[in-house]
Copies of this chain bind each other. A is one copy, B any other.
């Protein structure tokens, strides 16, 4: 019996287990959607009621899944304190904690429910590849993120000296200028803050010319590392 359940829950090689994992994944996404919908202001009470029913159903299934996984685990303690063991636990915890309590009052708890998304990792190869890629290029990424931070800081200091007099409300301190530096060097450019002095504009040009290349590097490294890990995956 236990072997049979183990076969369904842990190993992923027969139709039943495949249906099981698909079913769990669907519930995870459902509960994420519900989580999002509950943030919509002034929902009708009955809508909120229906959402809570579905939510309850998801949690019950997750609980059963969690208990089954403990039941079939060879080393129960080891599983409970493993990454997925903790994730599975955190995924159902908020529901039981918030029992009978008005959800509005404990945002932190609701937020915990997001841990469920990590349950998907168990089934998703992409995320595994992703984490592997990050690991492989860890050092380089940190090194160049460091350069990026220095550059952003310099951009912030520079623009502060150029724009502080002209727009004290937008560039009141270097910390405010940092916001500008980030939004500009990532080329997001919301347009909430931008230089208006000649000096500031020339400085922006200068910093953009050198900045874009540098900011692009960490992202470039991640991408290449990922593509590599994908290719190796394919070769396997």
Given A143-B126, A218-B209, A220-B223; A153-B32 close (CB under 8 Å): yes
Chain B residues within an 8 Å CB radius of A188: 184, 187-189, 208
- When each residue 150-182 of chain A gets 1 if its CB lies under 8 Å from chain B and 0 otherwise, what string results? 100110010011001000100011110011001
Number of identical protomers: 4
Contacts of A194 in B (CB 8 A): 183, 190, 192
Q: A36-44, A64-72, A81-89: which one contacts chain B? A: A36-44
Judge if A216 is at the interface, Cβ distance under 8 Å.
yes
For chain A, the count of residues having a C-beta within 8 Å of the partner chain is 71
Known contacts A175-B40, A182-B204; is-contact A220 B227 (Cβ 8 Å) = yes
- Determine the distance from Cα of A157 to Cα of B111 in the docked complex, in whole angstroms: 9
**Which A residues have a C-beta under 8 Å from some C-beta of B?**
32, 35-37, 39-41, 107, 111, 114, 117, 120, 124-127, 129-130, 140, 143-148, 150, 153-154, 157, 160-161, 164, 168, 172-175, 178-179, 182-184, 186-192, 194, 201, 204-205, 208-209, 212-224, 226-227, 230
Q: What are the 5 closest A-B residue pairs judged by CB atoms, nearest first?
A: A126-B143, A213-B219, A213-B222, A188-B189, A191-B191
